[in-house]
Amino acid sequence: MLEEKGYSVGVFNFRTPSHGDGWNPLEIPYKFYINDKADRANEFVNDIAQNIMLTEKSERDVFWDYSASDLFVGLILYTFHLFAGKGGGRIPSIMDVLDVRSRCFGSNGADKEFVEQIRKDRMAYHTLLGTIVAPDRTQRSILSTFFRNTHH
């Protein structure tokens, strides 16, 4: 009925997202990023991270939650850097960020090639630095918290 009256109708299916119209929370900050407005992109990315990573903080020690949130922000910014370097045609998704996380932080910690590459994006590098230089056990705990918060 609304379509007949000229309205554009979208469907958000939160149970089965593939059966509805999608919404990519990274679209707006990525467009800022590729249009040389990295500070605005960073603001949006921090808001996204706060809503995804910090809604259920630990009662005992919030260090892990905030560290995982910083990791998430840094990975998003680095993903933006990678996609923009390929011409910026496709907008990255959260799944792309998770793929970058898998490539950059393996079972032996931060990949050395990744660490060298990430230095090219200063904002992402400084956001990720706490995880990159963390001792092995600390880094694994941050990554574990990141995984838990992005998969609940």
- The pLDDT tens digits for 33-57 are 999 999 999 999 999 998 888 877 6
Query: Residue 51: its pLDDT value, please?
Result: 87
**Run of H or E residues at 46:** helix 38-53
Nearest to 27 by CA among 99, 103, 83: 83
Question: How crowded is residue 64: how many other Cβ atoms within 10 Å of its Cβ?
Answer: 19
pTM: 0.81
pLDDT at residue 90 above 80? yes
